[in-house]
Amino acid sequence: MITAVIRSSSTVCDARQLTAAKNRPNINMKYQNSQQKSGSVQNVSRVSSPKRLRRQLYFSRTELSHILAAYSARVAASEWRDYALDHMNGVALFSIFRHTQESPLFVIEKKQRHPKEKPQFLLRDRSRVLCRSSNVADITGYFNKLPRLVSG
């Protein structure tokens, strides 16, 4: 959503416009103040705050059950030990650790840019993207392709 604000030294605002202006984040406050002091007309277009556009994203129950099924199989084989769930604006993360104090071995990332779009799933290791899909079952199926620890 793009909001255009036009101001001049002779513009009169009503109460509705003032309330809307108070709730809007002021990105270019110094620029606006310097332009208002000079008395020139300015056109400022502002993209609304990204926090408003992106809501927190979570794993659904079915997605989490797919991930935890693959995770528990590797825990039973003593390959993985710990996991972490993180939820941020527009991204949900499931991090997999071999040891608690290490950086994650793998991160399953769920991204959704727009609420009407299908979410995108990524499987990352420490340095690169291993798999990208719109289905979490494809991501967890990729773990079966990875080499497994064989004890004899």
Residue type (1 letter), 58: Y
- Residue 139 carries which DSSP code? H
Where do we find the tokens 């309330």? 19
What one-character DSSP code corresponds to residue 13?
-
The model carries a pTM of 0.62
Q: In terms of DSSP H, where are the helices of 80-152?
A: 136-145
Mean pLDDT of the chain: 75
User: Domain extents for the chain?
Assistant: 2-53, 61-145
Helix (H/G/I), strand (E/B), else coil: 4: strand
Given a contact cutoff of 8 angstroms between Cβ atoms, the answer to whether 44 and 32 are in contact is yes
The alpha carbon of residue 37 and the mean position of all alpha carbons in its chain are separated, in whole angstroms, by 39
Tens of pLDDT, residue by residue over 92-137, are 999 999 987 889 999 999 998 888 889 999 999 988 999 999 999 9
